[in-house]
């Protein structure tokens, strides 16, 4: 049926399964002209058929810097490459998309060859030079290094944008146990931010931040300072009835 009625893509997969690699590679290159996104699908099929060299050459030929190809190369080298190749490929994936998940993957491949400390220091220095402070905060919190997260927080760009993320909430939650004073200050900042949005919902969020700050202040014996702060906040916004209503509901 595939030979008679199948699409060129189906025909190509059939050629791969039948081991007709020369014909398959010619078909693949024709198809990729108009559908470059199929490269990793074809590469996976080639690997499954035992044509690892052809698969690797195909992906490299299509461009090792495309994010999809980087992910494929990282997976390939983890399974079929040397430890150094696996580390380098995963390092590129991480620096291209510095998430906690890609950081953990880099750690896994680096520990196998006992190079994690050196690799870790290198990529963190790279992120700092690129001013990727948000990613550095995520990693610090992942590693439970709250002091480092607090140190990095002032460097984050707080100007709203399409990819804006306010890291103060994450850091404040993490800081509650061992850095309560810092957490209190962050919750107070978050409350001011939400009050500035001027809506009933934002006032409710502000009250929630202030509730958390109040509990921490009570825990560390800073009730007087807290009461002074709350009184000053109320005085700054005497006409925002909805805000005062939310503060009252929150028993503040």
Give the mean pLDDT of 226-242: 95
228 has a pLDDT exceeding 90: yes
54 pLDDT above the threshold of 70: yes
User: Is the pLDDT at 226 greater than 90, yes or no?
Assistant: yes
Predicted confidence at residue 159, as pLDDT, reads 63
pLDDT of residue 200 exceeding 80: yes
Give start and end residues of each alpha helix (H) in the chain.
2-5, 8-17, 21-34, 39-48, 52-62, 67-80, 83-96, 100-112, 116-129, 133-142, 146-152, 168-175, 180-195, 200-219, 223-236, 241-249
Give pTM, 2 decimals.
0.84
Q: What percent of the chain has pLDDT over 90?
A: 85
Residue-wise burial string across 154-176, b where 16 or more C-beta atoms lie within 10 A, e elsewhere: eebeeeeeeeeeebbebbbebbb
The pLDDT value recorded for residue 161 is 56
How far CA 32 is from CA of 3, 5, 70, in Å, comes to 20, 21, 17
Average pLDDT over residues 30-51: 92
pLDDT band for position 163 (50/70/90)? Answer: low
Taking residues 102-119, report their average pLDDT.
95
Mean pLDDT of the chain: 92
**What pLDDT is stored for residue 67 in this prediction?**
76
- Would you say residue 155 has pLDDT above 60? yes
Across residues 170-195, what is the average pLDDT?
96
pLDDT band, very low/low/confident/very high, at 36 (cuts 50, 70, 90): confident
Percent above pLDDT 70 for the chain: 96
Looking at residue 1, its pLDDT comes to: 74
């Amino acid at each position: 049926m595939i030979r008679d009625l199948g699409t060129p893509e189906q025909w190509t997969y059939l050629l791969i399964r039948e081991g007709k690699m020369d014909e398959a590679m010619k078909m693949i290159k024709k198809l990729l002209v108009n559908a470059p996104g199929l490269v990793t699908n074809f590469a996976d099929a080639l690997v499954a058929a035992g044509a690892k060299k052809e698969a690797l050459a195909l992906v490299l030929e299509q461009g090792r810097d495309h994010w999809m190809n980087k992910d494929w190369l990282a997976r390939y080298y983890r399974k079929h490459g040397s430890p150094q190749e696996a580390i380098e490929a995963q390092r590129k994936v991480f620096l291209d998309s510095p998430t906690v998940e890609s950081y953990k993957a880099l750690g896994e491949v680096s520990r196998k060859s006992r190079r994690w400390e050196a690799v870790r220091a290198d990529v963190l220095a790279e992120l700092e030079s690129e001013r990727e402070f948000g990613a550095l905060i995520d990693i610090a919190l992942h590693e439970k290094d709250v002091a480092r997260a607090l140190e990095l927080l002032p460097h984050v760009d707080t100007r709203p944008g399409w990819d804006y993320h306010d890291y103060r909430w994450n850091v404040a939650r993490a800081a509650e146990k061992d850095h309560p004073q810092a957490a209190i200050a962050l919750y107070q900042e978050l409350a001011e931010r939400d009050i500035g949005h001027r809506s009933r919902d934002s006032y409710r969020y502000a009250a929630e931040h202030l509730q958390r700050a109040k509990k921490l202040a009570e825990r560390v014996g800073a009730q007087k300072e807290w009461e002074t702060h709350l009184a000053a906040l109320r005085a700054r916004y005497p006409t925002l009835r909805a805000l005062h209503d939310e503060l009252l509901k929150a028993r503040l």
